[in-house]
Structures are given as C-alpha cells and as structure tokens.
Amino acid sequence: MKPQSAFEREPARRVFASELRETRYQFKDGEDEKSPTYVILPTGIRSNRIFIVGTLTEKQRQGDQNIFYRGRVVDPTGTFFIMAGSYQPEAMQQLARIEPPAFVAVVGKPNLYTTPDGTCLVSVRVESISVVDRETRDLWVLDTARETLDRLDAFGTTEDSKKAQEEYGTRPELYRKIVYDALTQVQL
C-alpha cells in the first residue's frame, strides 16, 4: 500500500510589499482547470500563497449584491492591497471584525489584475487574517528579509529565477537595498 498521497500544501512565501507590487508574470502549472496558478516573484520564486504581517490601515466594504472587503496592509516597504469576498466567508468575516489600525497577519493568494487602461495591479485574496502584536510584525520583517536574501543568493541558479530575470530584469542589489531599508525600520 502506498503512503497517503504525496500532496504537499503550497508554502506561504514571505515577500515585502515593494516586491509584490512589481509582480507581473502569472502562469498556470498544468492544463487542468484545477491546476494552481502561480506568480513569479521578481526575486525568483513561484508563489501561489503568501504570508504577510503589517498594519491594517484602512478597510472598506464594497458591492451590494456581492459584498466584499478591501483593505490596505502596510509594511516597511510599501502597501499590500488585500481583499476578501463572499467566496471566502470566514476570511471576510474575520476582516469585518478588525478595526484599523491594527497589526494583522494575512495568509492569502496573490492575484494579478489588469485595468482597462493597461495598468497591472496586484492584490492579495485573503484566506485568513488575524490580529497580532508588534513583536510578530518585527519577526515577520526579519523572516521576510531572510527569505528574500536566500532567494537573492540563489538568483540565477534556479529555473524560476531565470524566468524572473527574463520577465523583470531583476537587479538583485536593488532588492538587497530594499531588505536593508526594511530592517532599519525595525526598532530595537
């Protein structure tokens, strides 16, 4: 008898807002309708789930038949746009309960959206959101810095990073600078 299926949950990648904002390239891994959709992050890794911690500064309820919530989560490098609709009722209700400003941890799927005038927007479809404390935020900045540096160290050696180079012309030193600036904002 085979061990239970080798399914492995997609890890939630750690990414700073300024990197996610630059994300433009999306692909489907496989032909199937249910095949996962990934984005390639500029520092060179595919991702269909991310974990972010930041300050929820604003939230808005929108739509009347299809209610959904939008929010802005700020990290040391920029802003994430998050949304939770009626397809994620748990996440939507969690978001509905949180009053900004608050430190929040968000697990979600990155989504690319192109406006009619051609600008590309990246939003995060929330799977879960919870209120955390400042220490968790600081830990996340360290964690995200470490993961981003790990990706930069491997840049050019992996398939995904070659793709990233092709799509974005990533300049690793720029992202090192972003990581450095983010770290300097963590107070000792």
Partner 1 sequence: MNLSEVTERISRKLEANGAQPDRQKIESRLRRLVEEFGVNAAEAERTVTADLAREHHLTGVGMGGNSATELRQIRDVAPNDWVTIEGKVVALTKPVSPSMAQTGIIADSSGAIRFVAWARGNPPAMEYGQWYRVESAVVDEYRGTPNLSIHSGTTISPVEKDIPLLPSITPIAELKPGVGSVRAKVIQDWEVTHDRMLQTGLLGDESGTIKFVIWKEEGKDKLELDAVYNIFYATVDEYNGRLSLALNTAMYITDEGDIEVGRQETEIQGALVHIAPGSGLIKRCPVEGCNRTLSRQNYCPVHEIQPEFRYDLRLKAVLDDGVHAKNVLMQREMVEKLAGITLDEAVQIAETNPLGMDEIFYRIRNAVLGRYYTCSGNEFGGRLLVNSCSPITFEPAELAALLNRAGGEPA
Neighbours of 97 (CB within 10 A): 10
Q: Which of 105, 122, 124, 126 binds partner 1 (CB under 8 A)?
A: 105
Instruction: Identify which of residues 6 and 118 has a Cβ nearer to partner 1 in the complex.
Output: 6
Instruction: Identify which of residues 6 and 116 has a Cβ nearer to partner 1 in the complex.
Output: 6
Token pair belonging to 36: 């996962």
Q: Long-range contacts for 94-99 (Cβ within 8 Å, ≥24 apart)?
A: 94/126, 94/128, 94/129, 94/130, 95/59, 95/69, 95/71, 95/126, 95/129, 96/61, 96/69, 98/56, 98/59, 98/129, 98/131
Q: Which of residues 5-44 bind partner 1 (CB under 8 A)?
A: 8-14
The C-alpha atoms of residue 18 and residue 15 are separated, in whole angstroms, by 8
Instruction: Identify which of residues 54 and 83 has a Cβ nearer to partner 1 in the complex.
Output: 54
Quick one: CA dihedral 46, 52, 58, 63, positive or negative? positive
Question: What type of residue is 24?
Answer: R
Closest distance between partner 1 and the C-beta of residue 64, in Å? Answer: 28
Give the contact letters, 111-130, x = binds to partner 1 (CB under 8 A), - = no.
----------------xxxx
- State the DSSP code for 29: S
Task: Find out whether 166 and 46 touch, Cβ atoms under 8 Å.
Answer: no
Instruction: Pick the stretch among 22-30, 67-75, 77-85, 139-147 that binds partner 1 (CB under 8 A).
Output: 139-147
Query: Rule CB under 8 A: is residue 53 a binding residue for partner 1?
Result: yes
Closest distance between partner 1 and the C-beta of residue 8, in Å? Answer: 7
Give the contact letters, 59-98, x = binds to partner 1 (CB under 8 A), - = no.
----------------------------------------
Task: Find out whether 61 and 67 touch, Cβ atoms under 8 Å.
Answer: yes
Q: Which of 117, 135, 157, 169 binds partner 1 (CB under 8 A)?
A: 135
Neighbours of 140 (CB within 10 A): 21
Binding site for partner 1 (CB under 8 A): 1, 3-4, 8-14, 49, 51, 53, 104-107, 127-132, 135-136, 138-140, 142-143, 145-147, 149, 173, 176-177, 179-180, 183-184, 186, 188
